[in-house]
Amino acid sequence: MTSTDGEQSLLPLADEIAQAIQRHALMASYASEDPGALAAEAESIRALMERYSNLLGDAKEGARNPFREMVATPDAVDADPRDTAKNEIELNVSYRLVVVNPGKAVDLAHGRARNKGDRSACVAPNSADSDLVSALFLIDGWDPGEYDQDAVRFLGESWQCRFAK
């Protein structure tokens, strides 16, 4: 059977639908960490089913088309899953630093605070190293590679980005 425009028959489209369902099942079975891709594959199946339903309607005029009722209209499709909390991203970043010269580190923190328009003292001269590093983090949004390495030495970083659980 072919559609009225003669471009597509039901059987190849049915094969395409079966392959799309298999891809979706594989993605779902292996706990894809990309819900957007899973949703896109589901939308692909819906669109293919809509084409199949329309083609079946064209091929069998007047015959009952059970697929027409199964195919959701765009208004009835669920909201994009990328808009839900299921796709919340968790970013963990770890920096390793050493305060080489506490006096210079205090000056660095005060200088960066002044550059941001903060005229108050952000750390005491005898602050703990962790307080100095925390102050720098809070002041400038964190770019430890740009710090005076004679004051606070940047040793390295690591990061991990994943979907939150």
pLDDT tens-digit readout, 22-35: 887 777 766 556 66
Note the pLDDT of residue 86. 61
d(CA 65, CA 43): 21
Report yes or no: 126 and 79 within 8 Å, Cβ to Cβ: no
Mean pLDDT for all residues in the chain? 75
Neighbouring residues of 66: CB distance < 8 A, sequence distance ≥ 6: none
Q: Would you say the pTM of this structure is higher than 0.85?
A: no
Rounded Cα distance between 126 and 146, Å, is 23
CA distance 77 to 97: 50
What's the mean pLDDT in 136-154? 83
Residue carrying the six token digits 């395409």 = 16
Q: Structure tokens of 157? A: 């970083």
Whole-number Å distance between alpha carbons of 1 and 13: 11
Examine the pLDDT at 109 and tell me if it is beyond 80: yes
Where does residue 33 rank: exposed (0-12), middle (13-18), buried (19+ CB within 10 A)?
Answer: exposed
Query: pLDDT digit string (tens) for 26-65?
Result: 777 665 566 677 788 888 888 888 888 888 765 555 556 6
